Structure 1
Amino acid sequence: MEGVIHIPAGERGVIRLFALDMRPEQAAFLKEPGALAQVLGIEALDMDQVEVFPVSDLEDIGLTGYLTEGCGVPRAQVEEDRAMLQALEGHVLLIRSRAFEGKETRLTPADQIKLIGTYGERRTNWSAPPETAESAKPYSAPKLPPRTARSQARRIGAGLFAVVMLLIALLIWVLVT
């Protein structure tokens, strides 16, 4: 099927950019609940993960800057489409893959909505070498003797009690005067 955009289940970190060939009033209407989902041919969409805006709002940063600096798209991906992105006018639609809530989805956008590009957000590298320092080992902190621990707990408790009593006294004084 031509014009169908397949979103696989569990997709993460993908941004789709669409050009909107419509009047500003129509583009603004897409922000209403259910309107955008209807023109995309789906039942529901998380509108917190969707942006509809005129390209002119980006002023000096431009669409390429917004994608790289604002959305975290690697610069190399955007450079391939720089000329096309700079030539865009009117309103655009930006949809993050989180808008589909991890469900497999088939978009059938209306004729006024044209897919411009699909971009991937930068991925965080969560790998790290194992920590070998002695202080990083579990239960490696020096253990306080029981008397010292009780004494410290009493001091903290007495401090909190004094602060609460002071606040109560202040509240009573304010109410009386």
Structure 2
Amino acid sequence: MTPLAIPAHERHGIRVFAAALSPEEMQRDKAGLVAALFGDPDLDPAHVELFDTADLAGVGLAGYLAEGLGVSDAALAPDRARLEAVRGPVLILHSRALHGRAVTLIPDPRLTLLAGYTEERPPVHFEPLPSDAAKGSLTAPGPSAPAPRLPRRALALGAALLLAGLAALVLAWR
């Protein structure tokens, strides 16, 4: 297969491969299988998806790419019919699997590159919270109030009760 060059620090890239793998191979250790299929032992298998398209019943591969991975409908439009026709195992390689390295992968002949996409990430907007409780500003807490002191009478009463209790114990032992 043609070498696949992936630039350093690529973010949100997705490459979709048809995978001519047997059911036994699909059950194999994913990390070892992925390393063997791409000839790169440093690929992070947590960012590689390997599944059978039969698992996508009702959604389809194009639907999964759009809804599950955030690929735009405009990007999928030229490939939609071809993606929906794919049957059997599929491997999806996310850029994050490469740890930000520039890599030239030589995929195993059992892999056929179907398409490459970029996840669409909407920009993050920080808007004020609508609740009145979220308005205003925070101030530093003031000095804490001193702990309340017990009145002398309460202390004297407590001491008297303690002495009376001790006297009762001494008398009970005799």
Alignment TM-score > 0.5, same fold: yes
**CA shift digits 1:72-123 (9 cap, x unpaired):** 1111111221100110001000111000010111110111101101010012
CA contact (8 A) 2:9 2:102 kept: yes
Structure with bigger gyration radius: 2
Question: Are residues 1:74 and 2:72 paired?
Answer: yes
| Conserved? CA contact 2:30–2:45, under 8 Å | no
Show the counterpart of 1:175: none
Instruction: Indicate if the aligned counterparts of 2:70 and 2:121 stay in contact, CA closer than 8 A.
Output: no
1:28–1:52 CA contact under 8 A, matched in 2: no
Match of 1:36 in 2: 34
Shift of 1:145: 4.6
Pairs within 5 Å for 1:133-148: 140-142=137-139, 145-146=142-143
Contact 1:14 1:97 in 2 (8 A): yes
Question: How many residues of Structure 1 are paired with residues of Structure 2 in the alignment?
Answer: 140
Look up the match of 1:90.
88
1:143–1:54 Cα change, 3 Å: closer
Q: Percent identity?
A: 36
Unaligned runs of 5+ in 2: 128-134, 148-174
Show the counterpart of 2:131: none
- Once superposed, what is the RMSD of the aligned Cα atoms? 2.3
Secondary structure of 1:102 counterpart = coil
* 2:106 aligned residue (105, 108, 133): 108
C-alpha distance in 2 between matches for 1:72 and 1:113: 23
Looking at structure 1, the residues matched to 62 and 9 of structure 2 have their Cα atoms a distance apart, in angstroms, of 27
1:143 positional shift: 5.3
TM-score by length of 1: 0.70
